[in-house]
Chain A
Amino acid sequence: MDLDLLVGALTAGSLYALVAMGFNILYRPTNVFNFAQGDLVMLGAMVGATAITMLGLPWLVGAALAMLAVAVLALVEERIAVAPVLKQSATGHGWVITTLAVSMILANLVGLAWGPDPIAVKPPAPLSTETFELFSANVSSYQIAIVVITLMLVLGVEAFYGTRSGKAVLAVAEDRDAALLRGINPNRLSSWSFFLGGGVAALTGVLAAPILYASTGLGPSLLLKGFAAAAVGGIGNNRGALLAGYIIGIAEAVAATLLSPGYQLAATFAVMLVILLIRPHGLFGRAEARAV
């Protein structure tokens, strides 16, 4: 297979993995799928693009601003749309509607505020999207940066889960009541996880902007692919998400070479389905012990 395509696949796959990681961070203590995740990514891209391109702020500042803004928004989402619903019924589906409602609200707000035109975002110097030859493949320094940053983030987040606070999050995910009994406050953890997850989403958006363009169409396509990467990797498992992201990126790239668009979708979906049927909890997911 053309090496150029492999590079593109790994880059796209890294972005999917990042979206999946955002999902996983939110999911761990709450067991909630945030349907607004794609919109958070998009919002991060738009805020970042506005800060960096329109206001001329340095890249790091723009990225930090985007991360902060979206993290706060995610926190607000958790407080008003997720926590109250979970409190009423820990097993109900209420949060499907509330996170969808948040998604609706965000999508409309972003559309009203920014309009349809994509905003160009240049990668931070010294990176660029110009390609050069590396081992007979055309890569750009920015693509390499994305892959590397993603790896670092995944390892970093996994390291976090090894710490005390991280373990506390895992405990809440496993058994909320037991965690309570051990003095862990699930509510604060949920809030913090949404905060962090929102930040990761924003970072994903800012990173994706030079390649995928900061526009209001960014959200929906990333939602499904990020969701797929999270599920295939094993929901809650970030290393799995990374691997799954790569798998989906590569499957997509191969399908693009060989198949027409309608079949591309079917092929990528088939790959995902086969993996999930063989390993129903994703590549790295753990089956719950049977409770009889």
Chain B
Amino acid sequence: MVDTVRTLIQSPRTRPTLLFTLALVLYLAPFAVGTEYRLFIATQMAAYVLVAIGLNLLNGYGGQVSLGHGALVAIGAYAVALAMVDHQWSFWPAALLAMVAAAAVGAVMALPAFRLSTWYFALITLGFAEVVGGLLTEWRELTHGFAGVVGIPKPAVFGHTLTSLDLYWFALTLNGLALAGMANLLRSRFGRALVAVRDNPVAATAAGVSLVRIKMMAFVASAAMAGLAGALFAVQKTVVTPDDFTADFSIFFLLMVVLGGAGRLWGPVVGAVVFFLVPELLTALQSWRMLIYGVALLLLMLYAPHGLVGAIEAGWKRLRTRLGLSNIPPAPSLAAVRAKVEPVAGAALSVRDVEKRFGGVAALAGVSLEVAAGTTHAIVGPNGSGKTTLLNMISGFYPVDGGAILIDGHSVVGMAPHRIARRGVGRTFQTPRMLPELSVLDNALLGAFPAERQGAAAVALRLPRVRREQQASLGDAMRYLDFVGLADRAMEPAGELPHGQQRLAEIARALVGRPRLLLLDEPAAGLSLAELDRLGELVAAIGALGTTVVIVEHHLELVANICRGVTVLERGAVLASGTPTEVFSHEEVIAAYMGSQARVTQAAS
């Protein structure tokens, strides 16, 4: 019996079969248990699910809180209502108008998000929703004011007016398409970038993701879905008034998303079902219903903090473990991957008289260094000497207060960090910046973000050229994971890796972007002796490919073995510069940095 269950769970045919059965049941259910009322509720629920799916993209995956999506639904509903009633449009172009109008307003609503932190922005969206509500009544020549728009006709296809059953099927189909498109989007570079924006924006930027563009994309996508839902809402209800869209309405969608499971694909569906069914089940206790409901909500969130889908997933994982099944999916086969890692044309780095001040403190006071293309260079110095600051300035995370930084002769001063990343500068951080919930492979794939070129629409539709591109990136990612020695742990959640291996995974991510200049910030910190050796070999191998490597380090043996040049910083200024041999026998360096008793063993010169 257990064996049968185990086989069923592991079979690749199970999931599609289940989905197909679910679809069948949903489409055919009206013939068995359909009443006008149930069809109506189901269609309304489907419209709300559409909004929730879009909001889940924005909030669950992207971490942006919007309390104004009700207003976007209102815009979609009014667009359809006014177009169909006042201008006799057919439903289909009106629905398109609804999506475009809502998307446009969503884009405007998103603009403050780039300046404001999350909770300030949430307030703005709430205010926005109230303003839209106010304007709906104010612009009465356009919107019919308080009276609202009445008599919205049902959609018609080739002369056939849709019945409630047809409308239900239409809504169901929309939901199916939305879920499928969303799944494709989330499994692509956009999904990863969005999660990075939420969990580790710095890592996203270092991988070349423009935070502004991704957030805007998420906004516009979710707004368009809200607009479409509004269109459905309008034709189902046949009357839209400003009172339909209160502030509670907006908050309600966020509740649906978080309760169902923010950041889980099926979260919106589960959330909507719960929101619609639970009050129905409680009708017996009319006035106490909302009270009970609030209490239930409270209890649910206390015991299911990742929402219902999160709770179900956790339970599912436990079940699998009990059955002796692993929770780690199988990694893609290495055999499909190209055999060789290709060489890179390294970039030359030139730093001239760079200065950095924090308040009154001069962190860097005129630092210069030159790194020839394809060489490995180290920056060493005591803590607080400005090493990481320098790295941050080269990669664009800190603005430059004076001096010049040139990569391959082009100045990068004043360039946004993600643009610098796209020019072929990869980096790692002192503390590995991973996306803990995603797999190691997904983390590595984040590095492929700039390389992939297919747009969001193509990705959502999973066109063949998208699939080819994704296969190529997958191959790259696996190859580099193999290169750093993590291929066998590719599918584990990155957060569960030990520190040293997270380091390696971060390096792999940087490599996937095929950097011409790689900046490593104290990669050896916290590594064991064996890991140190491995790291040295790895950096040497990277250098051998042709990549210019700049490494900030404390482990001088490592530096001496692999670097052609070394720059010693002390208190924001260059103390010495040259080959390892020269620098480490420099008296001042020995005294200042290593203390009078330390000695450096040198490898064969």
Contacts and interface: CB of A to CB of B under 8 A. Distances in A.
Chains A and B directly touch (beta carbon < 8 Å): yes
A224 B126 CA distance: 8
Secondary structure call for the B interface: helix
Contacts of A85: 301-302, 305
Nearest to A87: B305
B398 A93 contact: no
Instruction: Tell which of A97, A102, A263 has the most Cβ of chain B within 10 Å.
Output: A97
Nearest to A265: B134
Q: Which of A84, A102, A231, A282 has the most CB of B within 10 A?
A: A231
A262 B137 contact: yes
A260 B124 CA distance: 21
Contacts of A109: 291
B103 interface: no
B138 A261 contact: yes
Interface residues of A, number: 45
Contacts of A104: 290-291, 293-294, 297
Interface residues of B, number: 45
Contacts of B119: 33, 231, 235
Contacts of A263: 134, 138
Contacts of A126: none
B298 A81 contact: yes
> Looking at chain A's contact residues, is the secondary structure mostly helix, strand, loop, or mixed?
helix
Interface in A262-292: 262-266, 269, 272-273, 276-277, 280-282, 290-292
Nearest to B145: A262
Contacts of A292: 202, 392, 397-398, 429
Interface in A215-269: 220, 224, 227-228, 231, 235, 260-266, 269
Interface in B120-168: 120, 122-124, 126-128, 130-131, 134-135, 137-139
Contact of A280 (B65, B115, B398): B115
Interface stretch (B6-14, B217-225, B250-258): B250-258
Contacts of B115: 276-277, 280
Contacts of B392: 292
Contacts of B255: 97, 100
B130 A282 contact: no
Contacts of A280: 115-117, 120
Interface string B493-529: 0000000000000000000000000000000000000
A112 B259 CA distance: 26
A227 B254 CA distance: 18
A102 B298 contact: yes
Nearest to B395: A292
B333 interface: no
Given A93-B258, A94-B305, A276-B116, A262 B135 contact: yes
Interface of A: 33, 80-81, 84-85, 88-89, 92-94, 96-98, 100-102, 104-105, 108-109, 112, 220, 224, 227-228, 231, 235, 260-266, 269, 272-273, 276-277, 280-282, 290-292
A-B pairs, top 3 by smallest CB distance, nearest first, are A262-B138, A104-B294, A105-B294
Given A101-B297, A277-B115, 8 more contacts: A81-B302, A92-B305, A101-B298, A224-B127, A261-B134, A269-B127, A277-B116, A292-B398
8 contacts: A85-B301, A97-B297, A101-B294, A228-B123, A231-B119, A269-B128, A273-B112, A292-B397
